[in-house]
Amino acid sequence: MIKGTAASDGIGIGKVLVIEEHSLEYTPRTITDTEAETERFNGAVKEFIENTEAQAEALRKSAGDKEAEIMTGHITMINDPYLRGEIEALIKGGQCAESALETMCDMFIQMFSAADDEMMKQRAADVRDIKTGVLSILLGIKEVKVSEAPAGTVLVARELTPSVTAGINKDNIVGIITETGGKTSHSAILARALEIPAVLSVPDAASLFKNDQCVIVDGSSGEVIADPDEEQTNVYTKKRSDFIAERKELEKFRGVSTKSASGEEYELVCNIGKPADAVKAMECDGEGVGLFRTEFLFMDRTAMPTEEEQFEAYKKAALIVKGKPLIIRTLDIGGDKDIPYMGLAKEENPFMGFRAIRYCLKNRDMFKVQIRAILRASAFGDVRIMFPLVTCVDEVRDGKALVEECKAELRAENAEFNEKIPVGIMVETAAAAVLADVLAKESDFFSIGTNDLTGYTMACDRGNSDVSYLYSALQPSVLRMIKRTIECGRAEGIPVGMCGEAAANPQMIPLLMSFGLTEFSVSAPSVLKVRKCISKWTKQEADEVCAKVMSLATEKEADEYLSKVCVR
């Protein structure tokens, strides 16, 4: 059995097709007719865009609009004036088109790869895909076609790029195995959209597996079994049948309200990163948006988005959710999210440094542009403002004062907005959790960010393998922080939600129900699973489980106990 990263749920049993990568080696040469070389480069880009548009259309039909945007994003990237301009400048300086393209793409790949944020790392994969696509055209190499793969095929590749994935016939591909990629990579996103089981980050997969070799892909556990025996095949065939039956069972929870077995109602909303994600949230039966991560509007650009650009993005999301809640988190940069044109200084410990609400309050003009855009969008739906990384009352008061200042400006301009727009905060620091009773008096709502709250409370970096064993929302100290935050919010009569990964964890759900959480904000594909999980618990049962867990002394004890009682 071989272990990788579980990236797309389900069981796939089939025969291997290894996608072999063509050599893209070339001999750099000095160009004298730079005008002809520039024309050759632009011709290759034109062909690349045409190919990509066709791939986007194929993805739109097989997976959906959101997934097609991955491909159209490649077109936006290659058309970036800075990137194109610098490549053409290198060609005019005497470099061949291949060398100029590679030089600039490698620069961006190195920059994005150096980031700690997984979404930024994904940009590096996008640039690699673009470089490969344009370079292949320049060198006259034909792209790999997976559309001709026979039924029952398990694709194996070093990296399954969006351009290759776009050609997948989901009726014929039963599994995907790659050497690279994580749960948030485009390979994973596309595999989930196509509902194909996938295991990523399997070392040396492209050389480990051979064409026509029989394999089992368990995309739920991240395991791959090569050359399974009859008993293993029978076991996993049943698992596959059970998985398909469970997926059908989940459809019963579409279009119904989110209720516990004893009748308590909850709000089940989604986390998104851009307006198009709101479409997926609604398709997956989300009851609104609990977290709109606006920093992704600021990335992949060479300059700050204007007020009008931001307004259109927020307005679009508000119209998509059609009157359901849309909680927009103000810009959260710093830490693992660096945006080069903002000129953030290098810090020894950026997670403890000049980031999120701290940065925004010191850059008031930039912050006002965003707040004005959100306020204007509030005329088109139930839009709410949320400040990230709050640690003290002053930050909330200063942020709210800026909101009032923007309201006054918009009134003077006769612009429409919601005068009573709710303004809340993210509770994701130990300071905010300890001060929750005071902060609740200053806020219209709380949203608990368990990812950062766990890291800050336990003083551990989940990306550091030496201390990652400490990173768990089931740590007694973290549970107490969460419980206190919810109790303080309820005491002041404000709603308390959660937008961290713990909100979708079946082990956490009865605890959160008992604590009194009112809103669960999860990834769109998790909506029906979470709704089903909530429906299985009565408030009394959740209270009994919670009382036991809160009496335990260690994370291990809590995990072992919950592993038994949460199998329902």
Instruction: Using the 3D structure, point to which of 138, 172, 189 is the last residue of a domain.
Output: 138
Active site residue 74: no
Same domain? 74 vs 129: yes
* DSSP secondary structure code for residue 224 in this structure: E
Please state, in angstroms and rounded to a whole number, the distance separating the CA atoms of residues 530 and 533.
5
Domain count along the chain: 3
Of 110, 118, 122, the C-alpha closest to 336 is 118
Residues 112 and 160 in one domain: no
Question: Same structural domain for residues 130 and 43?
Answer: yes
- Domain-terminating residue out of 176, 206, 230: 230
Same domain, 93 and 160: no
Do residues 336 and 309 both lie within one domain? yes
Q: For residue 463, what pLDDT is reported?
A: 66
- In the residue annotation, 270 being an active-site residue is answered as no
Whether 100 and 220 share a structural domain: no
Residue 430 sits in the same domain as residue 373:
yes
**Domain for residue 60, yes or no?**
yes
In this prediction, residue 143 carries a pLDDT of 67
151 neighbors 172 (Cβ within 8 angstroms): yes
Evaluate whether residue 565 is within a structural domain: no
Q: 93: which residues sit within 8 A by CB, 6+ positions away?
A: none
Which residues, listed in sequence order, are joined to residue 176 by a DSSP beta bridge?
A: 155, 198
- Does 560 reside within a domain? no
| Annotated catalytic residue, options 96, 105, 360, 499 | 499
Domain range enclosing 367: 266-537
pLDDT value for 165: 72
End position of a domain, from candidates 91, 117, 138:
138
List, for residues 179-237, the tens digit of each pLDDT value: 887 776 777 777 887 889 999 989 989 889 999 999 999 998 999 999 999 999 999 99
Q: What's the pLDDT at 121?
A: 72
Q: Are 325 and 288 in contact, with CB atoms under 8 Å apart?
A: yes
pTM, 2 dp = 0.72
Helix (H, G, I), strand (E, B) or coil at 290: strand
Do 297 and 429 have their domain in common?
yes
Q: What residues pair up with 11 in beta bridges, in sequence order?
A: 218
Sign of CA dihedral 186, 192, 193, 197: positive
- Please give the pLDDT value at position 568: 56
Q: Are residues 271 and 401 in the same domain?
A: yes
State how beta strands 198-200 and 5-8 pair: antiparallel
Q: What's the confidence (pLDDT) of residue 395? A: 97
Query: Along the chain (568 residues), what's the average pLDDT of each consecutive run of 10 residues?
Result: 88 91 84 93 93 81 71 86 91 94 91 69 83 90 77 89 75 91 73 86 90 94 94 95 90 95 96 88 95 84 88 96 96 67 67 81 94 98 96 97 98 97 96 97 96 91 78 94 97 94 92 97 91 96 97 95 84
Same-domain check for residues 498 and 519 = yes
Query: Is 250 inside a domain boundary?
Result: no
Same domain, 342 and 396: yes
pLDDT at position 299 is 74
Is 554 inside a domain boundary?
Answer: no
Q: Which residues contact 253 (CB under 8 A, 6 or more apart)?
A: 285, 528, 531, 532, 535
Tell me the C-alpha distance between 400 and 443, whole Å: 9
Residue 331 to residue 299: CA distance in whole angstroms: 11
Q: Which of 74, 96, 105, 186 is catalytic?
A: 186
Radius of gyration of the chain (CA): 25
Give the sign of the dihedral formed by CA 94, CA 98, CA 104, CA 110: negative
How far is it, in rounded angstroms, from Cα 53 to Cα 267? 38
pLDDT value, residue 562: 94
Give the pair of three-digit tokens for residue 30. 């000095």
pLDDT in tens, 59-112: 777 666 666 777 788 888 898 888 899 999 999 999 999 999 999 999 888 888
In a domain, 14, yes or no: yes
Together in a domain, 348 and 404: yes
- Residue 512: what residue type? L
Give the chain's end-to-end CA distance (angstroms, integer): 28
Q: Residue 113 belongs to a domain with what CATH number?
A: 1.10.274.10
